[in-house]
């Protein structure tokens, strides 16, 4: 069907068009239809042909808005309203905002606007059906710029039906150009109130009320890591995710191998998803919130295939806008799944405005110097620390009581709260995820925030002194009292090149995207123990023999832990794969050496359900640990789960930079048995470029290094165990602790022998022990001895790189 309005718009070169269809606009039309609508047109024209679903619709133009203001002679009246505006005086701001909006709402549309808007809606109904349900969204001409998002500043109305409904919602959108938050935000960002016009997008609703929806970023919004897409999802319409009214599911996908056909799903985090927004059929409102049944809350609301499809779209959208803008353009995207059609749709996209604007040559690190009682925890936003007196506010009408420097504690925030959020030293909310309003504004303002705590407003009291730490990984913690902390800044410019590879020791997958910003040559040691203890928690044999467990309490805990898994061993495999995958993705394609599990028997017993499967040993440090467990009939089933997890990372995620490393391997023959055991589970040395390394931490590893090099592809010296076993010292004993020193001449001789033997056999050798991180002189010794690489703790890596370069230059 020919669209007469579109023909008319073309004839008038669109300059004085009152309505433009999304197909008629693109990214260069922000001045005509605002950022949101220009972006929708850009995607429909450039990305819909590539298979990305975008609902159709039209935009009222900036010209239409200005025509309305001019025809009703409203500008002079509005200027008088704002003559004595003071955005820092909340009462003044509120009164001016209310009066401006009343002026617009009480002024009828001119007939030509009513007719144009009504005709366009009727044509949309011709396309989709009578009384088509639409979303009516504000789109300002100063929004969605790379340096200022303006997201959420104006209003959106969902499930609008009928001509009168569309006209009413459109006028409310016009008025929302003068909400408290929009006025304040324009003032802070230096935009003139009367240079900004408002367009309105009228878009076919996606029936996510009967499915799910959410937000995704084509960049990790916390760390700025550019190779990951973060997806948030909850049941129902998307406003709850955007506003932070729910704790959503979160998924993280690695883009570089995704676009090559792999399935690199790095993380799946189950949200509580307590409510969902649905159509209010027959009610007085257009939408309403209902409770989500417990059974649905305990399920992910997207399948793995849907997650990967959305992430693929995020990568496509980012690539398209990067080409349009001639520079990398990470994107902030809203998506929805239609429960009737069973299809996914993209409903909005805008440039990401926080991480993409940050300087990449300065590394800022916050560290708490003391700890105290933890009041509450949640998802951390911003790797910083803030503190002050708490102010619990549950109602936006009370925000004028908030004082600068206080810690804002509330259930959730929405754009009405922004005038005070800039004054907060930190923010803590009960609800919301990392893509919620509170999270986005906190990042934009550089304020640490904890979101989705669940109970902050109950456990924190007004005037209580608190320290909010988001510098300890993905879990943010609110501590009692004002705790001392340090802030360290390091410039990353002009770091010297070194022939000796400088790698990093990594423990926590939750922090790796931030650590990846530190220049290094890869990861020399990633320990599986941390992933097993903190991300899996249960003993692998308790999972494989779940039905046989006799302790009902333990069984119940494991059932809760694995509630999304009927196959309990698969829980272990997936969690291990995602933990390793996070680390491998952060440093891809650089090598990531992963040491397989090296718990001692007492440590294994402390895992959930571990006691029945572990013997009692008088000296576990020298007992059944490392390689000796892997082929033992009592443990080999559990080791198979580790192998399958690593195989999932390499084969399914495409992260072939992972190099497994065997700890505490006493003889070459034992090493060969482990290599054969790995091959039984699909990890065959030499296949798909798989290398297998061994720890060099026993005197036997040094004395028989040439024989070990026939079995393995490389060595990594573990200076802690090597020192202990060379000097015969129990490093856990305070009685002889003074004698434990990696710089002892006997230890250095062992290290030197190992390096010489490995180099003789053309085998790589590095060090991942503590010594070079603690002692610059030991790092110098290693360089002079000709070591290939050293792996260091993150806090000492940059300084040690300077030391290494200095020694190499002297040589």
Residues marked as catalytic? 437, 768
Nearest to 329, CA basis, from 303, 307, 353, 313: 353
What Cα–Cα distance (Å) separates residue 514 from each residue in 310, 476, 655, 757, 759? 24, 15, 19, 37, 34
**Could you tell me the two tokens for 474?**
């993905």
Q: Please name which of 398, 432, 390 lies closest in space to residue 416, comparing C-alpha atoms.
A: 398
- HSE-up (13 A, CA, CB side) for residue 121: 29
Residue 94's Cβ-count burial label (10 Å; 0-12, 13-18, 19+) is middle
Helix (H) / strand (E) element for 269: namely strand 265-269
**Close Cβ partners of 211 (under 8 Å, ≥ 6 residues apart):** 235, 301, 336, 337, 338, 339, 342
- Are 272 and 246 contacting, i.e. CB atoms less than 8 angstroms apart? yes
CA distance 444 to 729: 52
Structure tokens at 248: 């959503």
User: What's the CA gap between 193 and 206, in Å, rounded?
Assistant: 33
Q: Are 754 and 704 in contact (CB under 8 A)?
A: no
- For residue 91, give the H/E element and its range: helix 90-105
736 three-state secondary structure: coil
The SS3 of residue 265 is: strand
**Which structure tokens are listed for 186?**
């324009």
Q: How far apart are CA 79 and CA 77, in angstroms?
A: 5
Assess contact for 5 and 19: CB atoms under 8 A.
yes
Residue 480: phi and psi, rounded to 5, are: -75, 135
Rg (CA), the chain: 30
Comparing CA positions, the residue from 449, 473, 609 lying closest to residue 538 is 609
Give the integer Cα–Cα distance in Å for 248 and 237: 12
């Amino acid at each position: 069907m020919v669209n007469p309005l579109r023909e008319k718009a073309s004839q008038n070169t669109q300059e004085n068009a009152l309505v433009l269809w999304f197909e008629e606009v693109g990214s260069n039309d922000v001045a005509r239809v605002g950022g949101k609508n220009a972006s929708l047109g850009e995607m429909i024209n450039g990305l819909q042909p590539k298979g990305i679903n975008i609902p159709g619709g039209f935009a009222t133009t900036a010209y239409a808005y200005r025509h309305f203001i001019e025809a009703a002679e409203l500008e002079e009246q509005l200027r008088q309203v704002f003559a004595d505006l003071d955005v820092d005086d909340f009462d003044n701001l509120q009164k001016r905002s209310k009066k401006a909006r009343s002026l617009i709402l009480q002024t009828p549309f001119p007939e030509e606007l009513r007719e144009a808007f009504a005709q366009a809606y009727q044509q949309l109904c011709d396309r989709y059906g009578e009384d088509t349900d639409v979303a009516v969204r504000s789109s300002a001409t100063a929004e969605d710029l790379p340096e200022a998002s303006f997201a959420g500043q104006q209003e959106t109305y969902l499930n609008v039906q009928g001509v009168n409904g569309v006209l009413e919602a459109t006028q409310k959108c016009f008025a929302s150009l003068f909400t408290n938050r929009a006025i304040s935000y324009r003032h802070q960002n230096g935009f003139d109130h009367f240079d900004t016009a408002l367009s309105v997008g009228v878009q076919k609703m996606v029936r996510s009320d009967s499915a799910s929806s959410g937000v995704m970023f084509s960049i990790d919004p916390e760390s700025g890591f550019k190779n990951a897409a973060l997806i948030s999802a909850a049941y129902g319409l998307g406003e709850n995710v955007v506003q932070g009214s729910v704790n959503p599911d979160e998924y993280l996908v690695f883009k570089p191998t995704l676009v090559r056909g792999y399935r690199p799903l790095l993380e799946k985090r189950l949200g509580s998803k307590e409510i969902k927004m649905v159509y209010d059929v027959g009610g007085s409102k257009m939408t309403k919130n209902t409770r989500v049944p417990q059974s649905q809350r305990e399920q992910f609301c997207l399948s793995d295939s849907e997650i990967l499809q959305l992430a693929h779209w995020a990568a496509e959208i980012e690539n398209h806008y990067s080409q349009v803008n001639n520079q990398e353009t990470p994107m902030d995207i809203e998506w929805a799944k239609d429960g009737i059609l069973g299809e996914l749709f993209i409903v909005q996209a805008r440039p990401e405005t926080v991480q993409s604007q940050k300087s990449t040559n300065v590394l800022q690190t916050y560290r708490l110097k003391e700890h105290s009682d933890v009041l509450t925890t949640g998802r951390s936003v911003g790797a910083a620390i803030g503190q002050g007196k708490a102010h619990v506010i549950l109602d936006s009408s009370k925000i004028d009581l908030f004082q600068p420097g206080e810690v804002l504690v509330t259930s959730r925030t929405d754009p009405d709260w922004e005038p005070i959020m800039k004054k907060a030293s930190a923010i803590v909310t009960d609800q919301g995820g990392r893509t919620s309003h509170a999270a986005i504004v906190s990042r934009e303002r550089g304020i640490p925030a904890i979101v989705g705590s669940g109970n902050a407003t109950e456990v924190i009291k007004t005037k209580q002194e608190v320290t909010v730490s988001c510098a300890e990984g993905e879990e943010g913690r609110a501590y009692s009292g004002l705790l001392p902390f340090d802030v360290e800044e390091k410039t990353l410019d002009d770091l010297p090149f070194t022939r000796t590879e400088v790698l990093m020791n990594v423990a926590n997958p939750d922090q790796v995207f931030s650590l990846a910003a530190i220049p290094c040559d890869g990861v020399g040691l990633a320990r599986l123990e941390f992933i097993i203890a903190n991300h899996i928690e249960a003993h692998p044999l308790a999972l494989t023999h779940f039905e046989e467990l006799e302790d009902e309490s333990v069984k119940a805990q494991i059932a809760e832990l694995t509630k999304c898994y009927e196959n309990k061993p698969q829980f272990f495999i997936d969690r291990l794969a995602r933990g390793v995958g996070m680390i491998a993705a952060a440093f891809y394609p650089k090598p990531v050496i992963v040491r397989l599990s090296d718990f001692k028997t007492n440590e294994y017993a402390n895992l959930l359900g571990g006691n029945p499967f572990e013997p009692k040993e008088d000296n576990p440090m020298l007992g059944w640990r490392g390689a000796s467990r892997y082929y033992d009939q009592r443990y080999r089933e559990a080791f198979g789960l580790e192998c399958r997890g690593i195989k999932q990372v390499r084969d399914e995620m495409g992260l072939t930079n992972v190099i497994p490393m065997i700890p505490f391997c006493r003889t070459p023959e034992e090493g060969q048995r482990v290599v054969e055991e790995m091959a039984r589970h699909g990890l065959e040395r030499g296949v798909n470029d798989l290398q297998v390394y061994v720890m060099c931490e026993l005197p036997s590893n040094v004395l028989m290094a040439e024989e070990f090099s026939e079995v393995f592809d490389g060595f990594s010296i573990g200076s802690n165990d090597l020192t202990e076993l060379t000097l015969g010292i129990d490093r856990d004993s305070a009685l002889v602790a003074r004698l434990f020193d990696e710089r002892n001449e006997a230890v250095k001789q062992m290290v030197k022998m190992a390096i010489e033997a490995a180099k003789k056999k053309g085998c790589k050798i590095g060090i991942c022990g503590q010594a070079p991180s603690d002692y610059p002189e030991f790092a110098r010794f290693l360089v002079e001895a000709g070591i290939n690489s050293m792996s260091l703790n993150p806090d000492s890596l940059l300084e040690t790189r300077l030391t290494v370069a200095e020694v190499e230059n002297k040589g």
